[in-house]
Amino acid sequence: MSEPTRFAGLSDRRSFLTRSAAAAILPAWFVQECVSQDKPAPLSSPNERPHIALIGCGGRGRGIAQEASRLGNVIAVCDVDTKHAHEASKQFKGAQVYKDFRKLLERKDLNAILNGTPDHWHTLVNLAALKAGKDVYSEKPLTLTIEEGKRLVAAVRESGRILQTGSQQRSDPRFRLACELVRNGRLGKLTRITTILPAGPYRGPFKPTARPAELDWDFWQGQATAHEYMPERCHLWFRYWLDYSGGTLTDWGAHHNDIALWAMGLDRSGPETVEGKVLAKSVEGGFTAPAQYEVEYTYANGVRHRCLSTTADTIFGSPERGAKPEALHHGVKFEGTAGWIFVTRGHSEASDPELLSRPLSSPKVRLYASNDHMGNFFDCLRSRKAPVCEAEIGHRSASVCHLGVIALRLGRKLRWDAAKEEFVDDREANGYLAREMRKPWTYDMI
């Protein structure tokens, strides 16, 4: 990565922060701190630009590859849909096209991969990349199951590679400020957290259709149970099927529940109990993931955490047409004995504005300061330090969401042992920690 590019990235970060201050979005004292924190790791060579490959060239994959192209060279793209792969190759100046990620990972000139595949592919691709000696930026939710997460965390430790989870709210100063205030007692004793997530769709039934010629549907399904092709199971819509994901509880929960754990300092741990209620039934033959729900977690610190779906926001997080500003919009609300703070993308508020604006004098807890999620990944490629959302954090944030989905599926209260990562005396619930993989996919073949 060359100096000019590196510092162009840095000045982008600074101008974002300065604009934030000008618009009074964040308190000025905090913006000043953010600017001084933005010191990139030293370059090992001034001309060094890491070689990157994108695996999974859908909407998000191409978005993160665009971000990565500020700081590295995207030399290869891979997708089981050849149309998506060729579109990405055009976007990244003729990056070489692959269909099979295992072939791509044989390349010796590759430093890191970006994983933009659907959730049911994250772990196998990530494990294969680590084994091939590549660093990884993987989209959230990091895993499909808790068992996958345990294996991934172990593989990252053993390999010494870098893994950044794509829960980018970790690098949004607004969320960090809220977490840091909570951690330092600005709200007195923290009593409740409410994470509000966009509700999922209740559509269906869907009909099988001919698969597009450019798509290898069997490869796309991978470890998941085989089904006839229908567009609603595939691109974008996969997240509303339990075969491939957990619905908005894992999709958005990997962002907002991640913030809840961060604010409690429990992002390498988890809850003690979980229970939940599905609020409306899915349509027979349609999407299977819970779309509207209420989940409640309790923790050893006594905090009660409710995770609710809202129909006031679209699945993309923007307000539904006609939704009132005062409706329940997605975000995270922290309540304590001294007031509350609500934080979401682009906005935060508090029961008393002073709770947000008063500087933190001699705080006991300082959180990992990253103001650019992809930039932090590239910094860590050089420094070899753990990124802001490293594997264990990404795994635990996904786990809390998976626990919610399991409680919704079982419809009863479950007790969780976060140290052992298993349900307490509950064989049925423990049966949901892993999934049987469809042949030929196994952990061992990677």
Ligand X SMILES: NC(=O)c1ccc[n+]([C@@H]2O[C@H](COP(=O)([O-])OP(=O)(O)OC[C@H]3O[C@@H](n4cnc5c(N)ncnc54)[C@H](O)[C@@H]3O)[C@@H](O)[C@H]2O)c1
Work out how close the CB of 227 gets to ligand X at its nearest, in angstroms, rounded to a whole number: 15
Number of residues that bind ligand X (CB under 6 A): 28
> Interface mask (CB under 6 A) for ligand X, residues 333-362, using x and -?
------------------------------
Among 251, 267, 296, 421, binds ligand X (CB under 6 A): 251
If binding is defined by CB under 6 A, does position 168 make contact with ligand X? Answer: yes
Residue 343 to residue 329: CA distance in whole angstroms: 10
Work out how close the CB of 354 gets to ligand X at its nearest, in angstroms, rounded to a whole number: 31
Burial of 103 (0-12, 13-18, 19+ CB in 10 A): exposed
If binding is defined by CB under 6 A, does position 71 make contact with ligand X? Answer: no
b/e string for 370-390 if b means 16 or more Cβ within 10 A?
Answer: bbbbbbbbbbbbbeeebbbbb
Among 9, 118, 200, 271, binds ligand X (CB under 6 A): 118
Q: Which is nearer to ligand X, 140 or 330 (CB)?
A: 140
DSSP, residue by residue, 17-84: HHHHHHTTSS-HHHHHHHHHH--PPPPSSTT---EEEEE--SHHHHHHHHHHTTTSEEEEEE-SBHHH
Work out how close the CB of 436 gets to ligand X at its nearest, in angstroms, rounded to a whole number: 18
Q: Which is nearer to ligand X, 121 or 377 (CB)?
A: 121
If binding is defined by CB under 6 A, does position 101 make contact with ligand X? Answer: yes
Q: Give the closest residue to 222 by CA, choosing from 4, 430, 407, 437.
A: 437
If binding is defined by CB under 6 A, does position 6 make contact with ligand X? Answer: no
What are the contacts of 58-62 at 24+ separation with CB within 8 A? Answer: 58/84, 58/116, 58/235, 58/236, 59/236, 60/116, 60/139, 60/166, 61/88, 61/114, 61/115, 61/116, 61/117, 61/139, 62/87, 62/88, 62/91, 62/116
Among 70, 235, 345, 415, binds ligand X (CB under 6 A): 235
If binding is defined by CB under 6 A, does position 50 make contact with ligand X? Answer: no
If binding is defined by CB under 6 A, does position 175 make contact with ligand X? Answer: no
If binding is defined by CB under 6 A, does position 80 make contact with ligand X? Answer: yes
Q: Which is nearer to ligand X, 202 or 219 (CB)?
A: 219
112-115 and 51-55: which strand pairing? parallel
Among 79, 148, 258, 267, binds ligand X (CB under 6 A): 79
If binding is defined by CB under 6 A, does position 222 make contact with ligand X? Answer: yes
Q: Which is nearer to ligand X, 336 or 375 (CB)?
A: 375
Report how far apart, in Å, the C-alpha atoms of 99 and of each of 13, 50, 103, 115, 315 are.
35, 22, 8, 14, 29
Binding window for ligand X (CB under 6 A); candidates: 20-28, 50-58, 290-298, 428-436: 50-58
Work out how close the CB of 199 gets to ligand X at its nearest, in angstroms, rounded to a whole number: 16
If binding is defined by CB under 6 A, does position 54 make contact with ligand X? Answer: no
Q: With contact defined as beta carbons under 8 Å apart, do 13 and 38 qualify?
A: yes
If binding is defined by CB under 6 A, does position 163 make contact with ligand X? Answer: no
Among 20, 69, 89, 117, binds ligand X (CB under 6 A): 117
Q: What is the DSSP letter of 234?
A: S
Work out how close the CB of 373 gets to ligand X at its nearest, in angstroms, rounded to a whole number: 9
How far, in whole angstroms, is CA 263 from its chain's centroid? 16
| 3-class state of residue 192 by DSSP | strand
Residue 332 to residue 137: CA distance in whole angstroms: 25
Q: Which is nearer to ligand X, 69 or 190 (CB)?
A: 69
If binding is defined by CB under 6 A, does position 190 make contact with ligand X? Answer: no
Task: Report the interface residues with ligand X, using CB under 6 A.
Answer: 55-61, 78-81, 84, 101, 116-119, 121, 139-140, 166, 168, 219-220, 222, 235-236, 251
